[in-house]
Each structure stands twice: as structure tokens, then as C-alpha cells.
Structure 1
């Protein structure tokens, strides 16, 4: 295998501060320049050495246990410890296409407290549910008519909001898809990719401060199929795909906000990443 050429570039840092309410209404303020901060981290992850495939590279990923969403008859459910989600499938009010269903009467229970979840538009399916490492926040990834949304719930306050709407209302354009997401191995920072059918942008979202850090790649990609944090939480890798079906591995370092292009991803390596990745929209 040829040596992998790595480019190191400064990452464009853009922060946005957004507010939320349990009803889903959104208020937002632009972060003041003197309030912007850099998320500190450690050294960049090493790229594979010459002659070494990505699958053989000595990179240790944080791979959380993924609890699958269950669908039994007209009931959609998920549970991890004392945190659970439940919803009920019913015929779509629009009935497009004929026979289609939507999830209604949704609720999340945590520590004996129940929170009603009202989403608009209604989900047609829930692809994944995941707790942050500290169990403070819950991420719910669901499909609707135009794409995939990601709802974040603060389990302490019972507040929730779709991050797609936050980003759209704060200068990120149309955000019909959350392509992939993954909680950090400690705390509750979220690495995710967002955009449309043919556009994917990778970012880090701080759920406490509601600050968004966009990570600029050298070119526009169609989708992001996997995001994987390093075991030490000092950065993460992500795999981007283009219109031609080519995939590239990037390695992001939190300290200094640097990005390395580690090289192309083969079909076998892509399967490996899929096997150890949390659920994502395909």
C-alpha cells in the first residue's frame, strides 16, 4: 500500500449559542466574540504507517454499547437502565404513501419521571436512541418525510429540541439530515454531521453551552457514514463520501482544532467502520 499523504489544516471555528424550551420553541442569541472558546484536547491521532491498512492501524476507538430500538406490532420502544422511550404507530394523517404510519403518543422516562415528547412533523420511524456518557442527555434519531432529525433531551430538566432546527435558524441553511452522530466517551459533547441529501458538514456540539464548532473539510462531501471518538476522547475520526462513491478518512484533533486527511477508505475498511459505529442514517 502506498504511503498516505496527510494534510494538516486549521479548522474553521464557528460558535452559535442557542436556547431551548420543553415545548420545542427555540430562542437564540449570537455568541459574543469574547465568549467564544476553543475546546481543548490532546495530540492528533496518528495515521496508518506506510504499508499498513486502516484496519491494521493501532487506533483505539470508544465504542459504546448500542441498545437497539424495538418495534413490536404498533409499539416502538427502547430502554437503557432506568431510561426508556416509548411510542405508538398509527396511520399517517396525510396517508402518503398509502398505508404509511407515524409514531404518536411518545414519551421518555428517566429516574421515575415521565416526559411527553411532541414532535412536528411526526416521525415515521426511530433509527436509534443513545445516552450521553454521563447519562445527562438523550439523543433520539428519527426519520420523517424529508430526512432525519436528531432530538436532544436534557433528562434533568425535561427540555428537548431538534438540533436540525437550531442549525437552520442560525445560518446553517436547510438541515434536513443528521447523517451521523456519536457522544464523546466522557461528559456530553456530541460529534455529528448535518446537512441535506447531497451535503454533509461535520461539527462538535456542546449540549451545555449550546455552542456549535464547525469543522471545515477541504471540499464538500455528500454524506458522512461514520463518526468514531478516540478511546481517550482527545479527538475523533470520521468517514466522508462523495458523489462518485469514494470515501476518505479524516482525523480531528481537539487541541489546536486541527484536521488530518488520513487517506482513502477501501470497501473492507468501510465495513469495519460500520461494524463498530453507532447507528446512523444510510
Structure 2
């Protein structure tokens, strides 16, 4: 009996050892590099009860002359400009969006070519795609593509039309739940204004705030869309959580936020980074 038990134990150890040494190999075409899987899973904390979470999984592939982003039912190709010299890195000249089951192919050719495409996010309705292009002399600019007709919206142009002349960057953004509405923060490295853009009415509402913010780190929509919470930086490394009531047009301070709490709870609500 003891010999039988010993034989069974040895067999189990051999099988376990074989399983632990199993290797799965992936083949990558020579023209591709830096394949990144962006699978966002929400952290299990109390914020998930309050906030809308965008779980937009996709794969980013850096090719020799383009950036390819593939999701469940879409493909985005960001075309790179040819290098002008052996030392100068090419910029991105256009972005093409193709969706499964749609006859519309959306293409945006940049008037001024960005150095990098930083992030992207689809609206809850899947009618629009928002993404940021980074310019070394300016900062992040937010573009929106209408996936139904291929049209594009440059928020910088719209804000300039409202009288905001010195806009250097879009700090962050986030789509609202179940509607074509997006909240974003804009300004420069020392000033961050908060705004809401309703794409159906084509109206931008700049939120009046009594405090001066130098940066906005995260924008969180409540699941029903009645409130928006903002994690802002008032002074260097001093973060606070403010809430805007859309029905009452009321903006109030909720609490102070530590850097650790921001990283642990609120950073997951920032747009998907493509790096």
C-alpha cells in the first residue's frame, strides 16, 4: 500500500513539473513591434458604486510607419509622416477609423501634425471617438470624430470662438453616461478650466469655479449622469475632489485627496494611455 501511495505522489509531481515548464510562444511579424494589450479592469473599491467606468479593451501595435489600434469591433490606423532625415522622427499625419458593420470610414488629416497620439475613448453611445494629439510646442489637443458621418470636431477651435485665446493644452476628459456629452479640462500648465460639451446641442458650458486650479487629473461621471467629480490640483501636489451638480449648476468641495488615494482610486478613470 505504501509503495502504491509513493508511486502516485511521484506521478503527480512529474505532471506538475511538466505543467509549470509549459511555454506559450507568440509569433510577431517583422514589421510590427511593441504590441501592447490594454485590458482595463476596475479596482474593487467604493468608487465603483458611484462612477461610470469605461472598460474599453484594445491592442496597440507599433508598426514601421503607423500605429494600429484594434478593439472588439473597430480598427484605428494612425499614419505616420515619412521621416525627413535619418535623425528626425516622423509625426502622425492622419487617423482612420473603421468599424465592423458600418459603411462609414472616418478619416482625419491633421492640419498640424501631432508628435504623438496619447489617448482615446469612445462615447457611451458609440457615436463618437475622442482622442488627444500631443504637440511638443503646445501640449495635448482634443479631437472628436463623428463615426456616423466621418466629420471631425476640433475643440480648440470651438473654445477660441468662445473667446479663449491662450489655450495650450487639454488636461483630461471623460464621456458622460448614455449621452453624447463629454467633460474636459483645458488651459495651460498653470491654469485648468472645467467644461462640458454637449454634442447634440453643440454647446460648451464652462463651469464657474471660485478656486484657481493648476491642473485637473481625473474626471468621474456618476452613473446616472447627475453629478461630475473632478480631482484637481490647487497648489503643487495638493489635490482636492470637487463635485458639480448638473441640475443645480452647483460646484462644491468634497474632500482633500492624497497622491496615494488618487493613484489607488481615481487614476483608473483617466482616458486609456496608448504608450
TM-score of the superposition, structure 1-length normalised?
A: 0.73
CA distance 1:58–1:158, shift in 2 (3 Å): closer
The CA deviation at 1:63 is 0.7
Contact 1:164/1:176 (CA < 8 Å) preserved in 2?
Answer: no
Question: What is the distance in 1 between the residues matched to 2:47 and 2:151?
Answer: 41
Q: Is structure 2 residue 102 aligned with structure 1 residue 130?
A: no
Q: Is structure 2 residue 215 aligned with structure 1 residue 223?
A: yes
The CA deviation at 1:59 is 5.2
Question: What is the distance in 2 between the residues matched to 1:78 and 1:88?
Answer: 11
Question: What is the distance in 2 between the residues matched to 1:192 and 1:139?
Answer: 11
Of structures 1 and 2, the one scoring higher in RCO (CA 8 A, sep 6+) is 1
Say which structure is richer in helix.
2
Q: What CA RMSD, in Å, does the superposition of the two structures yield over aligned residues?
A: 2.4
Paired position in structure 1 for 2:267: 274
Paired position in structure 1 for 2:76: 85
Contact 2:59/2:71 (CA < 8 Å) preserved in 1?
Answer: no
Paired position in structure 1 for 2:134: 143
Question: What is the distance in 2 between the residues matched to 1:188 and 1:58?
Answer: 22
Paired position in structure 1 for 2:185: 193
Which segment drifts farther, 191-200 or 271-280?
271-280
Contact 2:219/2:229 (CA < 8 Å) preserved in 1?
Answer: yes
In structure 1, which of residues 107, 118, 128 is the aligned counterpart of residue 96 of structure 2?
107
The CA deviation at 1:267 is 1.7
Question: What is the distance in 2 between the residues matched to 1:57 and 1:135?
Answer: 24
Question: What is the distance in 1 between the residues matched to 2:67 and 2:53?
Answer: 25
Contact 1:66/1:278 (CA < 8 Å) preserved in 2?
Answer: no
Q: Larger Rg: 1 or 2?
A: 2
> Structure 2: where are the runs of 5+ without partners?
1-44
Contact 1:137/1:154 (CA < 8 Å) preserved in 2?
Answer: yes
In structure 1, which of residues 44, 65, 70 is the aligned counterpart of residue 55 of structure 2?
65
Question: What is the distance in 2 between the residues matched to 1:186 and 1:192?
Answer: 17
Which segment drifts farther, 112-121 or 251-260?
112-121
Contact 2:106/2:149 (CA < 8 Å) preserved in 1?
Answer: no
The CA deviation at 1:89 is 2.6
Question: What is the distance in 2 between the residues matched to 1:266 and 1:259?
Answer: 21
